[in-house]
Structure 1
């Protein structure tokens, strides 16, 4: 009969896997290197397989270790959530809520939600990750993010996640004020421009690539911006062209140097969803924050 797994062994394994070395994990956890090494050796003995390969530059996971990491990190996250839920139900409103938001959400709805949430629950810590859904899926699967508010591509549906539509937004072609193509009337006219767009792996922007392809167009996307602010700054201070949410263009600060191009052809609407794991319940604090996002998305 295999030896039972112990919680401290799982924590040691996950810490070392995330840090890439026993030394770094030791600094993070406050445990000695010999204690971490012993815990991992005991864990490897219990599971009957090597989880790490040691090298001069640190450690790397074996294939078995990589698969085991996904399970171990989810177990630890589920235990954290369970512990926080008990504390929150007892009225000891502490713990942490971890959320992901798309770039336009971060600059429109999110500040209102976080302000109200913090006012009501000042002891609850909040971690916010900004980006497109594709970059958040691993953390959603492992339970490191409670949920995200983002767009997604229905043709690439992840069966482990649930999707609840909360908002629809218009996107527009955008240039700097005074841009020579500011009065263009069609996408075809702007095909020769230098474009900057987020990665096509992002759900809404994959939709745009499909739209261009259907019309036999191939915009000259010479710069791929992985961050929202990089895209805005580049468009505002150069002749690059992009496509951004109407919320951003109308923002008093962010949109002050931007201008929407009045095209005769509308762009696809962006559907925003509250996305989370199907098999995991949110803590009371996480559920309340999700409800705030629903409310403010409907009002905006």
Structure 2
């Protein structure tokens, strides 16, 4: 029969997994290596399973360890969120909020929303992760992200998450001002150009690939830029083309460097959602930040 699991054992296991070594985890937790090793050993004995394979470079999870880590890290995150929830309801405003945003949201909406939130709650620490939804799924599953504002494409994880529609954005083909093909009116005329796009991993860019296939065209993506900064920098200083939100191009600074092509066939609009894990309530601070995003999106609609 398995022995009861103690909280310090869970913390020891999760931190050793994240750090990749007992030495690094011991330093982070301000514990001695023997104490940490003992906690892991007691946990393995209690579970009746080996969780780590130890080697010179550190530790590696076994199959049982990988399965247990998913549960253990989620338990600790849920406990942290529960403690912060109670403290915030008692008026002790602190803790942290961790969110994800798509690149265009990071450039347009996020700065104003985060500034408003910080002015109201200066003692709450905020972490912002930028990227496509699929890259954030592991952290959403483990409770390390409270929510994300992003586009999504139907996938196997749909049943794990809640999707609340916030807004739509118009996307355009974009190049530098004075681009040699500035007069083009169809996608077909631009297929010989060099293109840069992010990897179409379950997002609006996957939707674009479907559009290209239906039209019988496919741009040659010679360079893959996964960040907004790298993409716009490349566009401004070369003849590469990309597809970006219209409101990003209307930015006063970028508008001096980049132009949107006036094509006869408009690109599909991107739908952005507030996405969070099912059956997990947001803490008061996370819920307040989510409401600020809702208000901003409604005001911009």
Short-chain TM bin:
over 0.9
**Corresponding residue of 1:28:** 28
Task: State the distance in 1 between where 2:245 and 2:54 align.
Answer: 47
**Corresponding residue of 1:224:** 224
**Corresponding residue of 2:60:** 60
- Structure 2: where are the runs of 5+ without partners? none
**Corresponding residue of 1:2:** 2
**Corresponding residue of 1:291:** 291
**Corresponding residue of 1:250:** 250
Shift of residue 156, structure 1, vs aligned partner: 5.0
**Corresponding residue of 2:280:** 280
Q: CA RMSD in A?
A: 1.0
Shift of residue 20, structure 1, vs aligned partner: 0.8
**Corresponding residue of 2:46:** 46
Task: State the distance in 2 between where 1:29 and 1:232 align.
Answer: 41
Shift of residue 34, structure 1, vs aligned partner: 1.1
Shift of residue 252, structure 1, vs aligned partner: 1.1
**Cα distance 1:223–1:117, how it changes in 2: closer, same or farther (>3 A)?**
same
**Corresponding residue of 1:271:** 271
Task: State the distance in 2 between where 1:251 and 1:154 align.
Answer: 31
Q: What TM-score, normalized to structure 2?
A: 0.98
- Structure 1: where are the runs of 5+ without partners? none
Task: State the distance in 1 between where 2:156 and 2:64 align.
Answer: 27
Task: State the distance in 1 between where 2:202 and 2:239 align.
Answer: 23
- Cα deviation code 1:112-149 (max 9, x no counterpart): 11111111111111010011101100000000000000
Shift of residue 155, structure 1, vs aligned partner: 5.0
Moved more, 74-83 or 198-207: 198-207
Task: State the distance in 1 between where 2:60 and 2:257 align.
Answer: 47
For these two proteins, the number of residue pairs brought into alignment is: 300
**Corresponding residue of 2:134:** 134
- How is 1:164-183 mapped onto 2 (pairs within 5 angstroms)? 164-183=164-183
**Corresponding residue of 1:198:** 198
Shift of residue 202, structure 1, vs aligned partner: 4.1
**Runs of 4+ that moved beyond 4 A:** none
Moved more, 151-160 or 224-233: 151-160
Task: State the distance in 2 between where 1:25 and 1:256 align.
Answer: 49
Shift of residue 154, structure 1, vs aligned partner: 2.6
- Cα deviation code 1:161-218 (max 9, x no counterpart): 0000001000000000111011110000001111000111141000001100111112
Task: State the distance in 1 between where 2:162 and 2:40 align.
Answer: 35
State the SS of the aligned residue for 1:247: helix
**Corresponding residue of 1:106:** 106
**Corresponding residue of 2:13:** 13
Q: What TM-score, normalized to structure 1?
A: 0.98
Shift of residue 2, structure 1, vs aligned partner: 1.8
**Corresponding residue of 2:150:** 150
**Corresponding residue of 1:76:** 76
